[in-house]
Structure 1
């Protein structure tokens, strides 16, 4: 006599929905913890929503978000324009790497925040100081990424280009750069996260606007911790959107041709 086991009913949650369910659970636990300890300074989720609404009502949210994105765009953009071509040249020419690598390795470990006094001395308190700090925080990671990306280009691509009589500039544009793009995108994604971290820290000291300034100002102006946490939440959400934007480049077909190598 055989018995057939009936599988129990299992609720299958779509993969795209699982992160949102986890977030909802964390918010509920957060609210429960605040209700059980109402004397704590940390506001609950509804308090944070109220803080965001307060910022919207006074027209500060858009102003601070635009200010932070403006500084990141300029600092990160300048770093991309300078670091990527320079890194590819250094990575391709061994003598250039031997000459410049010691200087790069000395400057690379210095935190961008250590440059704050010098940035204020050179540029004063304002956008230029923050842009300079973001540039420094982005330049060296992008430089090293470009150097490693060029060194990782398969020799068969380079030899094929040389066999077709490509000039050095054409070799860079038509062979090295396209082959290095997938690794460069990964470097851009990581470095943009660094730039977003640096702008928040720089705005706490070197400027009087932006999301970093919002957090410090809310703390100093009557311990408005609802605005402090609201600023943190907004920073996280914008960082998520920026990361998603860079990751979308990985799906561009013209940027994926080097993956076709067997």
Structure 2
């Protein structure tokens, strides 16, 4: 077996700080890849008019303009002075977060129940197998009739998408648990199903559940954009509206904002997982 010293990451000194060599290499390669992408984008943009493909500098200029242009956001009846881009992001968050919470909050428990209980699985598997292949946007017509166009309708669409992702991640996590874990739990005196779920099943399936939640966080941003194409206010509506008016620099600026929003939510979840997961 390798000693602990041999398995430690190599460190290099940057000033007075010791930084893992692997992290430095990853950052360096990432910067090279990003630079190559920007150079390729710039060269390609020179071959077509700016209204078809604006260069990176034009997109950054539009991004800065949208980020600094004053705008008003009404929160609980109170007008708050923000900027245009922040208002648009908050509009999307108004249905992204509720939809994600609903989808994950319903999908994870049901996935655990289906994976743990053969009886529940047999009762519900026909309906689950029938509904699972239907994409979230296919429900848009029903959602518009039932809920209407706006934050509530977009939130329902997001909830549908994140629900299935989290459900099957939790279900798969329970299915992959070794049978010996359940037997050991019973031999140690765990008799009730709720205790077995709390003490054995949920901790064992936690990695799969967290993976499903992380996937839902990313996919829900995509679903938000698609749901807003039907008229709900937010970043998706802003992207398509500016593209239709050939303001491609503004449209791509909001695409950049969407990517940054996903990156921030993903990093935030990874940090939270590091605190919560044992």
TM-score w.r.t. the length of structure 1 is: 0.85
Distance 2:88 2:235 in 1: 5
Can you list the C-alpha shifts for 1:49-76, whole angstroms capped at 9, x where unaligned? Answer: 1111221232210011122123221111
The answer as to 2:71 corresponding to 1:46 is no
Distance 2:28 2:264 in 1: 18
* SS of corresponding position for 2:46: helix
The answer as to 2:107 corresponding to 1:83 is yes
Aligned length: 242
Distance 2:55 2:33 in 1: 17
Superposed displacement of residue 245, structure 1: 3.0
Superposed displacement of residue 241, structure 1: 2.5
Pick aligned residue for 2:162 from 138, 145, 148 = 138
Name the one with the larger strand percent: 2
Name the one with the larger helix percent: 1
* SS of corresponding position for 2:246: coil
Q: Relative to structure 1, is the Cα distance of residues 162 and 39 closer, same or farther in structure 2, using a 3 angstrom cutoff? A: closer
Distance 2:151 2:58 in 1: 31
Distance 2:51 2:236 in 1: 23
Give the structure 1 partner of residue 35 of structure 2: 24
Higher mean displacement: 33-42 or 159-168: 33-42
Give the structure 1 partner of residue 223 of structure 2: 198
Q: Relative to structure 1, is the Cα distance of residues 133 and 29 closer, same or farther in structure 2, using a 3 angstrom cutoff? A: same
Over aligned residue pairs, what C-alpha RMSD do you find? 2.0
Superposed displacement of residue 117, structure 1: 1.3
Give the alignment of 1:176-215 within 5 angstroms: 176-207=201-232, 209-215=233-239
Contact 1:104 1:140 in 2 (8 A): no
Can you list the C-alpha shifts for 1:106-146, whole angstroms capped at 9, x where unaligned? Answer: 11111111111111111111110000000111111211111
Q: Relative to structure 1, is the Cα distance of residues 21 and 121 closer, same or farther in structure 2, using a 3 angstrom cutoff? A: same
Distance 2:68 2:271 in 1: 33
Superposed displacement of residue 250, structure 1: 5.4
Superposed displacement of residue 249, structure 1: 5.0
Q: Structure 2: any 5+ residue segments left out of the alignment?
A: 1-21, 70-82
Give the structure 1 partner of residue 196 of structure 2: 171
Distance 1:39 1:14 in 2: 35
Distance 1:115 1:97 in 2: 24
The answer as to 2:265 corresponding to 1:242 is yes
Contact 1:129 1:206 in 2 (8 A): no
Pick aligned residue for 2:256 from 218, 227, 233 = 233
* SS of corresponding position for 1:14: helix
Q: Structure 1: any 5+ residue segments left out of the alignment?
A: 1-11, 257-262
Distance 1:120 1:157 in 2: 46
Contact 1:185 1:246 in 2 (8 A): no
Contact 2:161 2:223 in 1 (8 A): yes
* SS of corresponding position for 2:52: coil
Can you list the C-alpha shifts for 1:66-97, whole angstroms capped at 9, x where unaligned? Answer: 22123221111111111111111111111211
* SS of corresponding position for 1:205: coil
Superposed displacement of residue 191, structure 1: 1.9
The answer as to 2:146 corresponding to 1:122 is yes
* SS of corresponding position for 2:222: helix
Contact 1:80 1:142 in 2 (8 A): yes
